[in-house]
Amino acid sequence: MPRQWVKEELRHDPLRNFVEKAIPFVKSHKETVLASAAGIVIIIAITLLTANRMKKASLLADEQVGFAAMYLRAGYVDQTIQLCDQILQSHPAGIQGGYANFYKAESLYLKKNYDEAIKQYQNALPLLREKEDMGAMLIFGIGVSQEAAAKYQEAISSYKQLTDEYPAHYLVPEAQLGLARCYEATGDVQSAISYYQTVGSFHPATIYKNISDARLNALTGMQQQPPLANPR
């Protein structure tokens, strides 16, 4: 009885049934089966080749980003922009695209092309916001460029965004000084004084306090000085 039970179970085994049905099909449709197998092999080969090319392209973009950073540090602004444009053609998104936008923005700022710099910083922001402290740096770059372009209200919004979203970041005192400068430039002296006082109170014994104290003296009539220039 046990042997008969095993035989009955084997007859109902799905895998066994599949194999028993598949063998005659393969024998009678050899060309179809071979063509299908060849198609699968080709698809796998194309997939592997594409993945390999994408990996190589990504590595090349990483190298180009590194060169762009070196060009910028060396002061080769035009070369930096050209290289960043090449990166953006092949990698408009992702980390490589984010850094290409960032380095291009920095270069455009140095060329005093502030409106285009703002656009590049804004393009980089969603790509690099979560990358270390790049979010704060990009927002600061937007604010500084807006201030340099005399777009003071927009700069105020950007500087406030930085201080609100990154209250412990090392760029906060820079942003607070930027707020004070922008308010001073728009004639809102009381707001400017308030921010200069904030900088002096929260950052004693620093260059930020020296700058804020100098402007406070000027604004309160103790010392006459021209409006503070953007330090960048």
Domain extents in the chain: 27-129, 132-232
Give 119's contacts (C-beta < 8 A, 6+ positions apart).
105
Question: What's the CA angle centered on 201, arms 199 and 154, to 5 degrees?
Answer: 25
pLDDT in tens, 70-125: 989 999 999 999 999 999 998 888 899 999 999 999 999 999 999 999 999 999 99
Q: Exposed, middle or buried by CB within 10 Å (0-12, 13-18, 19+), for 72?
A: buried
CATH 1.25.40.10 assigned to domain 27-129? The reply is yes
Using alpha carbons, select from 127, 212, 199, 130 the residue that is nearest to residue 166.
Answer: 130
pLDDT-derived band of residue 56, with 50, 70 and 90 as boundaries? Answer: very low
pTM of the model: 0.71
Q: Which of 70, 80, 133, 125 is nearest to 104 (CA)?
A: 80
User: In angstroms, rounded to a whole number, what is the distance separating the alpha carbons of residues 156 and 159?
Assistant: 5
Q: What is the dihedral of CA 103, 232, 194, 125, to 10 degrees?
A: -10
Output the 3-class SS for 61-76.
HHHHHHHHHHHHHHCC
206 secondary structure, DSSP code: S
Q: What is the mean pLDDT of residues 213-229?
A: 73
Confidence at residue 53, expressed as pLDDT on a 0 to 100 scale: 44
Residue 231 has pLDDT above 80, yes or no: no
Amino acid at 207: I
- One fold for 27-129 and 132-232: yes
CATH superfamily label, 132-232: Tetratricopeptide repeat domain (1.25.40.10)
